[in-house]
């Protein structure tokens, strides 16, 4: 019997929550697999992206080495809100989160009505596990301008803050505004599973697979629930598909281990 199911979590790029996977083998022996950091989770593509950034937020062409308080070409005083955002995202991409936050604080002092800046700072707080601050900034961004991608991040911040039902409502809203939005479907599937709605979770993961059949993560989650529900052959098919699609890393290894264990159990029975 599979216990402590490992469930992947999709924000705008892939993250995960995993207490560990335990598979009961023949003879009562238990094999435990504990996945590593979130950076090793299988994503919908092989390209690595900064986690939890709002949709469309990408670093632009500004050269950080040329930006200074006295530089006539790139003086901070001349930057627009989007250019400040680009600078902050460059710092974030380099792992300089303190500089990114300082840049965003300065930008918001100058452009307090920018939903985009609040969305980026909220996403950064989410990444840094400052969930109360993430909730506040993402809520402010949504008050200024509705955006389904920001709402997915807001829902994730609420979930991390323990407000799962509020998170579900926000994912429902994101999907009403943008039907078929993959991150919202995936996250709602995870939340439905966590709140005991296994059928709803399977439905969301199945819909996510229809939208992007080459995304590995929904197969893993659906397989885990199907196995728990006793639908073993279907679970094995999904886990085999996950192993086929997932990039090399700890989650692919986890899938291989589970698949081997499940096949052994089915054969023994």
Whether 225 is covered by a domain: the verdict is yes
Cα 42 from Cα 156, distance rounded (Å): 19
Q: What is the mean pLDDT for each group of 10 consecutive residues in the chain (269 residues)?
A: 39 36 34 27 39 43 43 60 92 93 95 95 94 96 95 94 95 96 94 94 96 94 93 96 92 92 90
Quick one: which H or E segment has residue 14? Answer: strand 14-17
- Contacts for 19 with CB less than 8 Å, ≥ 6 apart: 4, 6
According to the 3-state scheme, what is the secondary structure of 162-197? CCHHHHHHHHHHHHHHCCCCHHHHHHHHHHHHHCCC
Whether 157 is covered by a domain: the verdict is no
CATH code for the domain in which residue 12 is found? 1.25.40.10
Please answer whether residues 167 and 158 qualify as being in contact, where contact means their C-beta atoms are separated by less than 8 angstroms.
yes
DSSP state of 77: G
Q: Domain span at residue 24?
A: 1-46+180-269
Greatest extent of the chain over all pairs of C-alpha atoms, in Å: 75
Whether 156 is covered by a domain: the verdict is no
Whether 142 is covered by a domain: the verdict is no
H-only helix segments in the chain = 81-93, 97-110, 115-127, 131-144, 148-160, 164-177, 182-194, 198-211, 217-228, 232-245, 250-268
Report the domain count for the chain. 1
pLDDT at res. 101: 95
Cα 214 from Cα 51, distance rounded (Å): 20
Whether 63 is covered by a domain: the verdict is no
Whether 93 is covered by a domain: the verdict is no
Whether 249 is covered by a domain: the verdict is yes
Cα distances (Å, whole numbers) of residue 14 to 26, 73, 102, 146:
34, 37, 26, 23
Please answer whether residues 242 and 21 qualify as being in contact, where contact means their C-beta atoms are separated by less than 8 angstroms.
no
Cα 57 from Cα 86, distance rounded (Å): 8
Cα 92 from Cα 127, distance rounded (Å): 10
Whether 201 is covered by a domain: the verdict is yes
Cα 75 from Cα 67, distance rounded (Å): 6
pLDDT tens readout for residues 227-250: 999 999 999 999 999 999 999 988
Please answer whether residues 52 and 76 qualify as being in contact, where contact means their C-beta atoms are separated by less than 8 angstroms.
no
């Amino acid at each position: 019997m599979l216990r402590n199911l490992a469930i992947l979590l999709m924000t705008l790029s892939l993250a995960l929550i995993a207490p560990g996977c335990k598979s009961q083998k023949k003879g009562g022996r238990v094999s435990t697999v504990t996945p590593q950091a979130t950076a090793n989770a299988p994503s919908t593509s092989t390209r690595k992206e900064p986690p939890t950034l709002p949709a469309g937020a990408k670093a632009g062409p500004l050269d950080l080495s040329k930006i200074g308080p006295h530089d006539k070409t790139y003086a901070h005083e001349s930057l627009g809100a989007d250019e400040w955002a680009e600078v902050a995202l460059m710092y974030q991409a380099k792992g300089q989160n303190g500089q990114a936050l300082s840049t965003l604080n300065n930008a918001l002092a100058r452009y307090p009505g920018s939903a985009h800046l609040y969305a980026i700072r909220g996403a950064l707080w989410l990444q840094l596990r400052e969930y109360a601050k993430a909730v506040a900034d993402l809520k402010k961004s949504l008050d200024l301008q509705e955006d389904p991608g920001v709402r997915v991040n807001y829902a994730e911040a609420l979930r991390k803050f323990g407000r799962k039902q509020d998170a579900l409502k926000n994912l429902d809203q994101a999907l009403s505004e943008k039907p078929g939005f993959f991150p919202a479907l995936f996250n709602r599937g995870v939340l439905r599973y966590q709140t005991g709605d296994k059928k709803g979770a399977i439905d969301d993961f199945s819909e996510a697979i229809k939208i992007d059949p080459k995304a590995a993560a929904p197969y893993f989650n659906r397989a885990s629930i199907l196995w728990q529900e006793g639908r073993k052959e279907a679970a094995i098919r999904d886990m085999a598909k996950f192993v086929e699609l997932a990039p090399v890393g700890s989650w692919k290894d986890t899938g291989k281990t589970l698949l081997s264990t499940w096949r052994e159990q089915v054969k023994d029975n």
